[in-house]
């Protein structure tokens, strides 16, 4: 599993690979490190965020949303063109082709787990359905918590 995270100490974005032998998650820049829990080292879906320990993670499609929009846009244009040219076979072919492209992208680009609290991304991890998709309420809860912490810091 790969962890893409922002270092809590120096705020540099780093990538760490966590394998069975990884005992510490380290910042590439400063001396920040954090032990990796045993449960998160095995080849299973992580229990909690490897960076901050938060148990709320959400599942995100690891697929830049802009590319998805472009693909759908092209599909609509091309299929409309064939529809207007009265070429039902070509039109159907386009629809099938895009369904195929979509399926391939879906398998190639696996989902990632994102931490609600610190935003760390856990990539290349097996997904067993432990964590759900984005939930606005949970997100809001963490956002409020962050705001409170910020205020407390400022005094």
- Site of interaction with Zn ion (CB under 5 A): 7, 9-10, 27, 29-30, 32, 49, 51-52, 54, 115, 117-118, 120
What is d(CA 74, CA 98) in angstroms, rounded to the nearest whole number? 9
Give the nearer residue to Zn ion in terms of CB position, either 32 or 82.
32
Length of the chain: 155
Least distance (Å) between residue 42 CB and Zn ion? 19
Alpha-carbon Rg for the chain, nearest whole angstrom, is: 21
Closest CB 37 distance from Zn ion, rounded Å: 13
**Whose Cβ is closer to Zn ion: residue 30's or residue 104's?**
30
User: Cα separations (Å) of 94 from 70, 90, 126?
Assistant: 15, 6, 33
Comparison of 82 and 138: residue with beta carbon closer to Zn ion: 138
CB neighbours (10 Å) of residue 54? 15
Between 102 and 145, CB nearer to Zn ion: 145
Min CB(21)–Zn ion separation in Å: 22
Q: Given the structure tokens 């997100």, which residue do they identify?
A: 139
58 - beta bridge partners?
114
Minimum Å gap between C-beta 38 and Zn ion is 18
Residue 62 burial (C-beta neighbours within 10 Å; 0-12, 13-18, 19+): middle
- Least gap, CB of 7 to Zn ion (angstroms): 3
Contact 54, 115 (CB under 8 A): yes
The residue among 25 and 94 lying less far from Zn ion, judged by its C-beta, is 25
């Amino acid at each position: 599993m790969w962890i893409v995270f922002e270092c809590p100490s120096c705020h540099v974005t780093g990538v760490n690979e966590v394998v069975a032998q990884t005992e510490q998650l380290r910042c590439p820049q400063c001396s920040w490190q954090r032990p990796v829990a045993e449960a998160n080292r095995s080849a299973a879906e992580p229990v909690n965020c490897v960076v901050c320990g938060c148990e709320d993670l959400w599942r995100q499609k690891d697929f830049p949303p802009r590319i998805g929009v472009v693909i759908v846009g092209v599909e609509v244009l091309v299929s409309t063109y064939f529809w207007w040219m009265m070429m039902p076979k070509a039109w159907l072919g386009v629809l099938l082709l895009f369904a195929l492209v979509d399926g391939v992208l879906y398998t190639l680009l696996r989902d990632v787990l994102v931490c609600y609290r610190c935003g760390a991304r856990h990539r290349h991890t097996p997904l067993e359905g432990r964590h759900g998709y984005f939930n606005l309420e949970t997100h809001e809860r963490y956002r409020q918590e962050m705001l409170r912490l910020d205020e407390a810091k400022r005094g």
